[in-house]
């Protein structure tokens, strides 16, 4: 198989014209937007040009298929509301180039996929979630985006393209090339990362309810200040997690909504997001226990009450050893001494696809670790290195 790096880079740059932000190489191509659907139509054309059989499934996942059993390569072409040009696009176009080169060489058999709504305009990794049975289609249809549009309405925008569900049994495995989206490879000057596992994620909304009161006339000792509860909770979980976490564990309070959120009023309510990620399911569960115990304890101390929202999450996924070895061999061939094994802190379609077949992932560096932003970028030499490792692994299998 002879891959063509120029053709690969041309397609990758062409794709960023769909929803180009006009700021750097950034794109605005959320799932089911005009730009996203136009990108998928163009991509379907490129698949057809390569001799692949084009198929859209009921939610807009786009497949480029070969006959008989094949390895599946891909990712997604939808972007964050303000996204970078590489994110999921890299894995899709690299998959297309490898499938195309394999077709030209008469084998091995390679199919390609671009999943829909990986970025979670509705829910989390929605397109691969539905395909893998992680989410029931009926339940997904009821999901809404921030403006109240339902998933069912959104996928209706592509109804003219939609065919039936693709049988996953035709695929022998799934490999996803992706940018790292973190600072690790860029910091160590490595060119390739072979993923050991994708961390699991837990997400819960927590609300402290105290007593809203006048900030001038309510003595400190008579207050039940919901912000003070949040601040104390944060300090205590930081302390207590220290006994449980590894250097790879992360946790974040990223969303806070005080009520009524006014300078002269003691906050009566503090609703916030608590998210934590780790590669070990048991550790995720122990962190959940600390969160629940600490929040209840802090509520007692501050005169507030606490409500826990639904716990959302995905389990950690270990990459399949045979596929991973193929990627390691490819990495050593293409970038000798400049690759390493690392976990994925970000969620990917591969997490869902692992329910259906063996999966593996590889990373190329993100310059300064920047992603989900217009200035997301990777050196073209690194992009091509990733493509070569992917081709190498596919050939080896």
Q: Is 228 in the site for a second copy (CB under 8 A)?
A: yes
Q: Is 202 in the site for a second copy (CB under 8 A)?
A: no
Residue placing its CB nearer to a second copy in the complex, 222 or 293: 222
Among 1-9, 175-183, 280-288, 325-333, the segment contacting a second copy (CB under 8 A): 175-183
Q: How many residues bind a second copy (CB under 8 A)?
A: 67
Residue placing its CB nearer to a second copy in the complex, 122 or 171: 122
Alpha helices in 123-197 (DSSP H): 126-132, 137-141, 151-156, 184-188
Binding to a second copy by CB under 8 A, coded x per residue (else -) over 142-161, reads ----x---------------
Min separation Cβ 383 and a second copy, Å: 18
Min separation Cβ 322 and a second copy, Å: 26
Binding to a second copy by CB under 8 A, coded x per residue (else -) over 270-309, reads ---x-x-x--------------------------------
Min separation Cβ 171 and a second copy, Å: 26
Residue the block writes with tokens 């880079």: 9
Which residues, 6+ apart, have CB-to-CB distance to 199 below 8 Å?
Answer: 248, 277, 278, 279, 316, 343, 344, 345
Helix (H, G, I), strand (E, B) or coil at 255: coil
β pairing state of 359-364 and 171-179: parallel
Which residues, 6+ apart, have CB-to-CB distance to 114 below 8 Å?
Answer: 40, 43, 61, 62, 74, 75, 76, 77, 88, 92
E strands, 232-358, in order: 250-252, 256-259, 265-266, 269-278, 305-314, 317-318, 339-344
Q: Is 128 in the site for a second copy (CB under 8 A)?
A: no
Give the tokens for residue 265. 């009023």
- Indicate the burial class of 251 (C-beta count within 10 angstroms; 0-12, 13-18, 19 or more): middle
Over the range 86-113, which residues count as b (16 or more CB within 10 Å of their CB) and which as e? bbbbbbbbbbbbbbbbbbeeeebbbbbb
80 conformational bin, left if phi > 0, alpha if psi -120 to 50, beta if neither: beta
Q: Is 180 in the site for a second copy (CB under 8 A)?
A: yes
Min separation Cβ 249 and a second copy, Å: 8
Q: Is 263 in the site for a second copy (CB under 8 A)?
A: yes
Binding to a second copy by CB under 8 A, coded x per residue (else -) over 8-47, reads ----------------------------------------
Torsion angles phi and psi, residue 5, rounded to 5: -60, -35
Helix (H, G, I), strand (E, B) or coil at 278: strand
Contact call for residues 183 and 366 (beta carbons, < 8 A): yes
Q: How far apart are CA 38 and CA 313, in angstroms?
A: 31
> Contact with a second copy (CB under 8 A): which of 212, 296, 305, 318?
212
Residue placing its CB nearer to a second copy in the complex, 84 or 109: 84
Among 32-40, 161-169, 234-242, 315-323, the segment contacting a second copy (CB under 8 A): 234-242
Q: Is 227 in the site for a second copy (CB under 8 A)?
A: yes
Min separation Cβ 215 and a second copy, Å: 4
Residue placing its CB nearer to a second copy in the complex, 97 or 376: 376
Q: Which residues bind a second copy (CB under 8 A)?
A: 80-82, 119-120, 146, 180-184, 199, 201, 203, 212-222, 225, 227-228, 230-232, 234-235, 238, 247-258, 260-268, 273, 275, 277, 344-347, 369-373
């Amino acid at each position: 198989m002879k891959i063509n790096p120029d053709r690969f880079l041309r397609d990758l740059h062409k794709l960023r014209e769909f929803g180009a932000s006009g700021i750097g190489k950034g794109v605005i191509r959320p799932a089911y937007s005009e730009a996203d659907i136009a990108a998928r139509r163009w991509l379907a054309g490129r698949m057809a040009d390569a001799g692949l059989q084009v198929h859209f499934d009921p939610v807009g996942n786009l497949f480029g298929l070969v006959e008989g059993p094949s390895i599946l390569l891909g990712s997604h072409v939808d972007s964050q509301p303000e996204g970078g040009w590489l994110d999921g696009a890299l894995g899709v176009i690299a998959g297309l180039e490898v499938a195309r080169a394999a077709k030209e060489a008469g084998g091995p058999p390679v199919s390609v996929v671009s999943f829909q709504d990986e970025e979670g305009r509705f829910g989390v990794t929605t397109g691969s979630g539905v395909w893998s049975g992680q989410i029931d289609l009926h339940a997904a249809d009821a999901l809404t985006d921030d403006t109240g549009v339902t998933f069912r309405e959104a996928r209706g925008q592509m109804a003219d393209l939609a065919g039936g569900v693709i049988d996953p049994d035709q695929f022998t495995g799934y490999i996803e090339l992706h940018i790292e989206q973190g600072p690790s490879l860029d910091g160590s000057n490595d060119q390739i990362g072979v993923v050991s596992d994708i961390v699991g994620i837990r997400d819960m909304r927590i609300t402290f309810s105290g007593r809203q009161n006048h900030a001038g006339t309510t003595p400190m000792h008579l207050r039940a200040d919901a912000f003070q509860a949040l601040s104390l909770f944060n300090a205590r979980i930081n302390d207590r997690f220290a006994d449980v976490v590894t250097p790879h564990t992360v946790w974040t309070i990223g969303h806070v909504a005080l009520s009524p959120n006014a300078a002269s009023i003691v906050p009566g309510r503090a609703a916030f997001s608590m998210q934590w990620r780790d590669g070990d399911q048991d550790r995720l569960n122990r962190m959940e226990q600390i969160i629940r115990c600490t929040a209840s304890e802090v509520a007692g101390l501050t005169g507030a009450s606490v409500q826990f929202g639904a716990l959302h999450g995905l389990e950690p996924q270990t990459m399949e050893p045979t596929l991973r070895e193929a990627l390691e061999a490819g990495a050593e061939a293409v970038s000798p001494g400049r690759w390493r094994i690392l976990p994925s802190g970000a969620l990917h379609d591969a997490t869902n696809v692992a329910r259906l077949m063996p999966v593996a992932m590889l990373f190329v560096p993100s310059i300064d670790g920047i992603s989900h932003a217009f200035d997301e970028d990777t050196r073209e030499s690194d992009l091509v290195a990733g493509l070569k490792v992917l081709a190498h692994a596919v050939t080896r299998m």
